Amino acid sequence: IEGAIKIPTVSVSPEDLNTTAMAEFGNYIREVFPAVFSSKFIQHEIVGKYSHLFTVQGSNPEMMPYMLLAHMDVVPAPPEGWDFPPFSAAEHEGFIYGRGTLDNKNSAIGILQALEFLLRRNYRPRRSFYVGIGHDEEVFGQKGAMKIAALLEARGVKLSFLLDEGSAILDGIIAGVKKPVAVIAITEKGSITLNFTVEKEPGHSSFPPTETSIGILAAAMSRLEQNPLRNLFGHGPELMTMEHLASEFRFPLNLIMSNLWLFSPIVSRVLAWKPSTNALIRTTTAVTMFNAGIKINVIPSSAKATVNFRIHSAEKATEVLEMVKNTVADDRVKIDVVEAFDPLPISPWDDQTFGVHILQRTILDTFPDVDSVVPGTCIGNTDSRHFTNVTNAIYRFNPLLLKSDDLPRIHGLNERISVENYEKQIKFLFQLIKNCDIDKLPEPHANSHEL
């Protein structure tokens, strides 16, 4: 992984990618995973110039294939504020520092490393599977993952499940829960980005109008922030998350979570207090850009703002747009849609769903401290959203133990992975590939702990 971190595969926008580094990444994986690239039963293809698709041909074609997905690209990392340069892969006190250690070269390299280990032991999988490594996930994945998905669809591929990044094992992050909990995201929020513009006559600041374009737009943005979209606790997977977690909470929370039919109004209000849990229960509003003004004594002719809404699974982009128009309630504010997509379908979650069973079993095999494997929501977006035509079972889970101080490091300063965490991730992926070779599911257990 250290060699991969040193390659600055940065995505800034769909038009601004470090393609030289992405090509170098392709050469690097060829060099460090010789068994993967020379195997007779693995086909490797380059898709969209820089993404990679591996088809691992299992010995039993009757078994339905699955897919492991990751991405090589990373967000920019200016070195200011980092303890070690962001592309140095410096090792310090058991941690490897660098952009991409958590998002998501750990998965891209981890999958190939697990496969390399299996091949070196002469292991031939019975069940076929695909490995996809995208090169533009951080900028919507349209040239990488989207093309890989289209290729599979054109070949008539149907997957039993797909595993991508998106959630993790949370240790001390969920208030009131002591033990680490594996949260597997079974959906991800949708998104709509809107541009707001106010155009007015320019003029001199010595005789200003009662309202300027800046004042009108600022008031509209304030109305959006002061009137958040509705609390939808109980209408999406967040209810399942709480119900599955109920026994893990300390008293009296365990009692409250076990009786959400009675206490859900209280719980929904408490969840709204913290930004991290508020994001689970509603469509969020984030004013991300505001531009206006050209000179200190000129009344500007226009003001522009951009707002990103992450859409709760119980709402659609069209509904959000309508509610936003009603909240702004000012015809002088022009609203344009930049991009929009609805929340992803909710993947099945029960013991008899192959992907769920395999993930539960592999997590409990690999992480002995974890008792609970629960469904959740991914509040960001991943490449997996492009694969809804090849499977209805998409699971977003990075097999890493994350503590609360790890969360700001993702896309932030001092992103790092512990050597122990990375080794566990490879062990998990190694075990997952082996566990997927079972023919049919064993009888359901009364309790996941017995696995």
Output the six-digit token pair for 166.
């998106």
Would you give the DSSP letter of residue 309?
E
Contact assessment for residue 221 and residue 287, using Cβ atoms and an 8 Å cutoff: yes
Residue of 73, 136, 171, 248 marked active site: 73
Residue of 103, 116, 136, 137 marked active site: 137
Strand 162-164 to strand 66-71: parallel, antiparallel, or no bridges (unpaired)? parallel
Question: Collapsing DSSP states into helix, strand and coil, what is residue 215?
Answer: helix
Output the six-digit token pair for 142.
């349209």
Q: Confirm whether 137 is a catalytic residue.
A: yes
Q: Confirm whether 83 is a catalytic residue.
A: no
Question: CB-based burial of residue 328 (10 Å sphere; 0-12 exposed, 13-18 middle, 19+ buried)?
Answer: buried
Q: 308 pairs with which residues across the strands?
A: 193, 286
Cα separation of 120 and 11, whole Å?
Answer: 34
How far is the first Cα of the chain from the last one, in angstroms, to the nearest whole number? Answer: 31
* Other CB atoms within 10 Å distance of the CB of residue 379: 17
Q: What angle do CA 136, 388, 186 make, to 5 degrees?
A: 90
* Dihedral angle computed from the Cα positions of residues 213, 219, 223 and 225, in that order, rounded to the nearest 10 degrees: 90
In b/e form, how buried is each residue of 207-221, taking b as 16+ CB within 10 angstroms?
eeeeebbbbbbbebb
Output the six-digit token pair for 150.
């289209």
DSSP 356-408: HHHHHHHHHHH-TT--EEEEEEESS--GGGGGTTT-S-EEE----EEETTTGG
List active site positions: 73, 137
